[in-house]
Amino acid sequence: TSELEASQKEARQYSTEMFKLKAQYQESQESLEAVHRENKNLSDEIKDLMDQVLTRLTLEQGWVDNIED
């Protein structure tokens, strides 16, 4: 019947839309994971730079240009 055909067509359209949305969701998840990795890398780099800065700053002498081990 035409009602059945219309329902099947509608179901196919919803199914197509669902697959598109699923693909977009997966792509956004991958992008989010990449952003998290980059954020972690930048955070680690900032920590390393802060450690370098703080090792050159002493309470007694202030800023030290040459650090002798």
The neighbouring-strand residues paired with 62 are 58
pLDDT at 21 over 60: yes
**Paired tokens of 43:** 């955070």
Predicted pLDDT of residue 53: 85
Tell me what percent of the residues of the chain surpass a pLDDT of 70.
84
16, HSE (Cβ side, Cα atoms, 13 Å): 6
The neighbouring-strand residues paired with 63 are 57
Residue 65 phi, psi (nearest 5)? -80, -35
52: confidence class by pLDDT, cuts 50, 70, 90: confident
CB atoms within 10 A of CB 56: 13
Threshold 0.85, pTM exceeds? no
In which element (H, E) is residue 53 found? helix 2-55
